[in-house]
Amino acid sequence: MRRCYISIIRTSNHKQIEQVCRDAIPQLMADMGLGLPEVVRPTDGGWVNPGYFVNDRYVFRFNARDPHLPKFQRERLAYDLTARKGLPGPQVISLDVSRHLCPYDVIVTSVIQGSTLEQAWSGLSTEDRGRLASAAGSTLGSIHEIPISRFGGLSSEEDQYSTWYKCVESLFMKHLQRAKLLGIFNETIENDCKTLLDRYSGALAKIKTPSLLHGDYQFGNILVDQGRIRGIIDYEWSLAGDPAYDLAYLARLEDSTPGARELFVRGYLSAHGNRDSNLFDRVPIYKTLRNIELCIVAHEHFGEADAAEYRTITAEAIGLLLKDTKAGISGARKG
């Protein structure tokens, strides 16, 4: 089965970047009043944001790949919002965006014991799989019950919008313009995307209340221990919008955690979604948006073989969605 998403990225100079980040930890700890770094271990998969466990108490993460984005500012806001609702997650110890001691923004959080649900899945009993997959779904539903005042970015440094349609349109245009600059897509793909956006405009216009969105809700960002969810992590892509946006990752659940999708959806609908009969009808437009973005990431950070595969996957998916939506979309009627 072809890959739909890749969450771990290694650039050609990742070793040098990781060393710069690691070397900054002693000074950062002194500045934050956290003592001395006696034990420093790299986190698993910390290649998008280099990360380190320090003294088994703290997690240091560095915004090295996307320094132009306020990823940790939005993450801190999301942790604050979810903590108020009693949802599991780490405590934010410090956020340093001064770049005085390190060339990247740095966030420090508390350590949560456990492993990711994705890592633990193969060793879980059928009963534990069912319980945890359902709990993962209901937790996302609870996240989506958190209201936000405006659509778009959580951070004051980001664009915010009066309607969800304007937000999605802006994201599409931004990614398409970037892809055009890089020569990733031809004009046909660009026009097809604009056609799809127009077809979904009625459905998107019906989203009136912004919800907190995780932005990267997958089992690799859910920490579990002793049969319970201990924390939801990595809100760096969080935003405010349509809950269906977070469901775009459902397609890959069966790849990494067989049998999880149905249980996850059941749990999700128990906490959120029963009032929205067209919830899943909007997911394909968000998958298209994510795939366009990933084509850009692949072009900039992967080898040509991977980048070409992403372009092919995206073009094929857009073609199929154009056919599927030709007769209309459920819930898309304006008004």
Q: Using H for helix, E for strand and C for coil, what is the string for 2-54?
A: CCCCCCCCCCCCHHHHHHHHHHHHHHHHHHHCCCCCCCEEECCCCCCCCEEEE
Q: With bands split at pLDDT 50, 70 and 90, how would you rate the model's confidence at 251?
A: confident
Judged on CB neighbours under 10 Å (0-12, 13-18, 19+), 288 is: buried
* Close Cβ partners of 249 (under 8 Å, ≥ 6 residues apart): 5, 216, 217, 218
Q: If you average pLDDT over residues 57-80, what whole number do you get?
A: 96
What is the structure's pLDDT at 267? 95
Take residue 216 and report the two structure tokens written for it. 């990267």
Instruction: Please check the confidence at residue 262 and state whether its pLDDT lies above 90.
Output: yes
What is the pLDDT averaged over residues 326-331? Answer: 66
The pLDDT of residue 292 is above 60: yes
Which tokens belong to 7?
A: 């969450």
Q: Rounded distance, CA 173 to CA 8, Å?
A: 25
Asked whether 114 and 230 are in contact (CB, 8 A), the reply is yes
pLDDT at 48: 73
- Residue 11 has what pLDDT? 62
The candidate with the shortest Cα–Cα distance to 270, out of 105, 84, 136, 80, is: 136
Q: Which residue has the tokens 């809950």?
A: 243
Name 10's Cβ contacts closer than 8 Å, sequence gap at least 6: 47, 301
**pTM over the 0.85 mark:** yes
Averaged pLDDT for residues 134-154: 97
Our measurement of the distance from residue 130's CA atom to the centroid of its chain's CA atoms, rounded to an integer in Å, reads 23
Q: What are the structural domains of the chain?
A: 14-112 (3.30.200.20), 116-324 (3.90.1200.10)
Average pLDDT for residues 296-321, to the nearest whole number?
91
Q: What is the pLDDT of residue 143?
A: 98
The average confidence (pLDDT) of the chain is 91
* pLDDT score of 6: 35
Kindly give the residue spans of alpha helices, DSSP state H, lying in 90-248.
Answer: 117-120, 126-144, 164-182, 187-205
Instruction: For residue 23, give both structure tokens.
Output: 């070397």
Residues 6+ apart with CB under 8 A from 72: 61, 63, 95, 97, 105, 106, 107, 236
